[in-house]
Structure 1
Amino acid sequence: MKSIPAVYLASSFLSLLGNSIAGVALPLLVLQITGSALGAGAVAAASAVPAVFAGLVMGVVIDRINRRTASCITDLVSGASVAALPLVDAVTGLSIGWFVLFGIIGSLGDVPGLTAREALLPAVVRSGGLSAERLMGLREALSAVALLLGPAVAGTLLVLWDASAALWVTAATSLAAALLTLLIPRRVGEIPAAGRAEGTAPRGGWRMLRDGWRVLLGSPFLLLTTALSLVSALLLAALQALILPVYFTQIGRPELLGFVLTALAAGMLLGGGGYALAGTRLSRRGWLLAGVLGSGAGFGVIAALASPGAVLAGAALLGAASGVFGSLVGVLMIERIPEAMRGRIMGTQNALLTAAPPLGIVAAALLTEFAGLGAAAIAIAAIWIGPLLLGVFAPPLRSLDREGAGDDGDHGNDHDTAAGAGPARNGEAHGA
């Protein structure tokens, strides 16, 4: 593997690892300081709303500046917002207001940072001599490793020190991710001239955002893949954050809940690793069917709540299918999103993916309250029937190989040209 993909993957891994550690340590620190579960929920809610807004708006910025620079800045913002908490605690002491303030600041780096890193992907493929399939499979596998290691690292730090120490480690991983990204040549982050409108005046931010939405809404392929990802995130959050905690509590085995995340991450590691090894050997249509059908089977096994062992097996199956689906969709996004609009389109997708989990949790809570746990689990899993049918039968998802990429991708490029951004070279990334 050449240095550029290796540096990119290492930076992505460290950023995700830091988020995984903070996901365990930060709620515990809020509880320690405030003594209120409601306070922890308020911090999470206060961070989620600006994260959605930042994902939408910052996509325009990412389409205007060097994407390597954008990735570095957002990692630094995320790291600084986390490092500020133990600093304030040492100087004046923390309160709920500090958590909300730095949660909002951190949200301005998290979703835009993910978007900037994803917008870099095509250039990393072009410059690194690595196929998009291999790169996306490795990224999904490393994401799973980060999910596995994060809680373990956080737990170890909490045993040896305290939650503040865990946040220092989180800030350090963000700083290291930013420094690693700086090792990527600046030229890699530049938006190619072919993706810009030549000889036209700069466009306003609102107009750029509107143009991005026009491309997204005008592409059946992008709409379908975005919808599949949104529903998957919504259902997974509903099961993981509400249905399964209630289930394991009812059977008197709450300690098993953590193993669900482990099984899910292990499955993602298997699915992403398998795609990295064999992504170019099987048809993309076959990988898509494996992803949507495997996800349906995983959701169904979990929702049956037959036994703890069955739930864990369903989580592993769901993770493997998600690893395959995420890798495939990442490759297709590299090929089919116009170069000049990656920030806006991916920012919108990531913003929606940030908003989906809370909606799933609320829906699961209402169903559990009024219909009971078993009915709620089945109803949540049954929602996947619609996306499954779309994945199997929808025409835009039936021709996914390179020779079919131009059909939908050109459609998006036409919108891009009409918007004044110039045509992107569809599928260019695969030339590496």
Structure 2
Amino acid sequence: MKLIPSAYLASYLLSLLGNSIAGVALPLIVLQVTGSVLGAGAVAAATAIPAVLAGLLMGMVIDNINRRTSSVVTDLVSAAAIAALPLIDMIAGLSVGWFILFGIIGSLGDVPGLTARDALLPAIVRHSGNSAERLMGIREALGAVALLLGPAIAGTLMVLFDGSQVLWITAATSLVAALLTLLIPHRVGTIVTPDGSAAAMSGSGWSQLRDGWRVLFRSPFLLVTTTLSVVSVIVLASLQGLILPVFFTLVAQPGMLGFVLTALAGGMLVGGTVYAVAGTRGPRRMWFLAGLFGSTLGFGLIAPLSSVWVVLAGAFVVGLSSGLFGSLVGVLMIERVPEQMRGRIMGTQNAIITAAPPVGIVAAAVLTELAGVNVAAVLLTSLWLVALVLGVSAGSLRNLEPQCEEAVRGEKAEAGRA
């Protein structure tokens, strides 16, 4: 594989791996340092809202500067925010306030960093000589690898090193990710219009944001695909964050939760790999329906909470289907999102998806308290049936083939006029 896609994919893997390690290690470190469960909750709550706002607002910045530059800067912000914590620990000692402060600073790099990489991907495809299907499949598979390795690495590091020292390693992953992105030529990150010329933004910041949101919320394709992604995240978050931990506790097998996450990530790895190899074969509608109905089967296996092994099988099927579905949607986003608005549109999508997990967890908590874990599992997984009906019946997802180029040009032209 050529340098440009290799550097992009390696950077993507390291960035996700760092986030995966930090997601496990940071709450444990907060508990070690403060001895307060409330403190750990306060850090998570205080950084959630800035992360969503950063996703909404930083997309405009990403649409105004070189895409490679925005990817590098966001990784450096993440690295600096994490590295500051062990540094302060050596100088003055850490407190909840320091975790909150640098958590907020780090949020300026996390969701915008994901958006910057998403926005850079079409240029990587153009300069790589590889199909979008292959690169998206590989990217989904690498995301699964990060999900598999991150918790294990975090647990090992927490045993081998003092808590705050582990943060040096997570900061290093973001730093190396930024250095790898620098291997991509600067010209690759230039924002271009459909006619091949460099894009020039005009209007105030608010008008630029409004234009991006107008394209997102007036596009049936973008609305439906965003809704499907959000529903999937809500259901998965409710299962992982509350329903399955309660279920495995009730059956006296709490350690099985880790195996469920492994089965989910393993399925995603297989799904992404299959799409990378065979994604260009057969109609795209077939891949789309395979992802939708496969997810329905997986959630259907999990919902009754009938046995540990059935839940594990359901998690694998959900992961496999998500790998197929996520890869296909990524390809469609490359083709159908206007180049000069990728930051704002994808930033808004990522912000909404970032806000979705707490919604799922809170809903699961309320339903479990009121009706029990079994009822909560059935009701929340049933949300996916609504997504299934929407995905199958949506007219904007009937023809997914690349030859609908005229319609794509028309959407991009309308976006340009906006």
TM-score (norm 2): 0.98
Taking the TM superposition and a 5 Å limit, the aligned residue runs for 1:25-424 are 25-194=25-194, 202-407=202-407, 409-419=408-418
Question: How far apart are the structure 2 equivalents of 1:34 and 1:379?
Answer: 37
Match of 2:303, SS state, is: helix
Structure 1 position 274, deviation (Å): 0.3
200 and 90 in structure 1: CA distance in 2 versus 1, 3 angstrom threshold? closer
What's the CA shift string for 1:252-301, capped at 9, x where partnerless?
A: 11111111111110000000000000000121101110111111111111
Match of 2:403, SS state, is: helix
Amino acid at match of 2:379: A
Question: How far apart are the structure 1 equivalents of 2:105 and 2:220?
Answer: 35
Question: How far apart are the structure 1 equivalents of 2:19 and 2:182?
Answer: 20
195 and 52 in structure 1: CA distance in 2 versus 1, 3 angstrom threshold? farther
403 and 166 in structure 1: CA distance in 2 versus 1, 3 angstrom threshold? same
Amino acid at match of 2:17: L
109 and 10 in structure 1: CA distance in 2 versus 1, 3 angstrom threshold? same
Structure 1 position 404, deviation (Å): 2.6
Question: How far apart are the structure 1 equivalents of 2:112 and 2:397?
Answer: 28
State the superposition RMSD in angstroms. 1.5
| Residues 193, 199 of structure 2: 8 Å contact kept | no
Which consecutive residues of structure 1, in runs of 5 or more, have no partner in the other structure? 420-432
196 and 340 in structure 1: CA distance in 2 versus 1, 3 angstrom threshold? farther
Amino acid at match of 1:161: F
Amino acid at match of 1:413: K
Question: How far apart are the structure 1 equivalents of 2:192 and 2:284?
Answer: 27
Amino acid at match of 2:73: I
> Which residue of structure 2 aligns with residue 430 of structure 1?
none
Structure 1 position 304, deviation (Å): 1.2
Structure 1 position 200, deviation (Å): 7.9
Question: How far apart are the structure 2 equivalents of 1:198 and 1:59?
Answer: 18
| Identity across the alignment (%) | 66
Question: How far apart are the structure 2 equivalents of 1:28 and 1:343?
Answer: 33
Structure 1 position 202, deviation (Å): 2.5
194 and 102 in structure 1: CA distance in 2 versus 1, 3 angstrom threshold? same
Question: How far apart are the structure 2 equivalents of 1:200 and 1:325?
Answer: 34
| Residues 218, 412 of structure 1: 8 Å contact kept | no
Question: How far apart are the structure 1 equivalents of 2:175 and 2:355?
Answer: 27
Structure 1 position 394, deviation (Å): 1.2
Structure 1 position 165, deviation (Å): 2.6
| Residues 64, 201 of structure 2: 8 Å contact kept | no
Q: How many residues align?
A: 418
Question: How far apart are the structure 2 equivalents of 1:132 and 1:200?
Answer: 26
Amino acid at match of 1:233: V
| Residues 22, 170 of structure 2: 8 Å contact kept | yes
Match of 1:191, SS state, is: coil
| Residues 196, 340 of structure 1: 8 Å contact kept | no
What's the CA shift string for 1:212-238, capped at 9, x where partnerless?
A: 011011110000000000000011000
Question: How far apart are the structure 2 equivalents of 1:335 and 1:194?
Answer: 11
Structure 1 position 302, deviation (Å): 1.0
| Residues 191, 198 of structure 2: 8 Å contact kept | no
| Residues 134, 276 of structure 1: 8 Å contact kept | yes
Question: How far apart are the structure 2 equivalents of 1:95 and 1:20?
Answer: 23
Amino acid at match of 1:103: G
Match of 2:281, SS state, is: coil
Amino acid at match of 1:250: L
84 and 198 in structure 1: CA distance in 2 versus 1, 3 angstrom threshold? closer
Which consecutive residues of structure 2, in runs of 5 or more, have no partner in the other structure? none
Structure 1 position 405, deviation (Å): 4.9
417 and 265 in structure 1: CA distance in 2 versus 1, 3 angstrom threshold? same
| Residues 230, 356 of structure 1: 8 Å contact kept | yes
210 and 128 in structure 1: CA distance in 2 versus 1, 3 angstrom threshold? same
Amino acid at match of 2:132: A
Question: How far apart are the structure 2 equivalents of 1:30 and 1:157?
Answer: 15
What's the CA shift string for 1:117-150, capped at 9, x where partnerless?
A: 0100110000010100000000000010011111
What's the CA shift string for 1:155-208, capped at 9, x where partnerless?
A: 111111132232111100000000000000000000014479999883111100
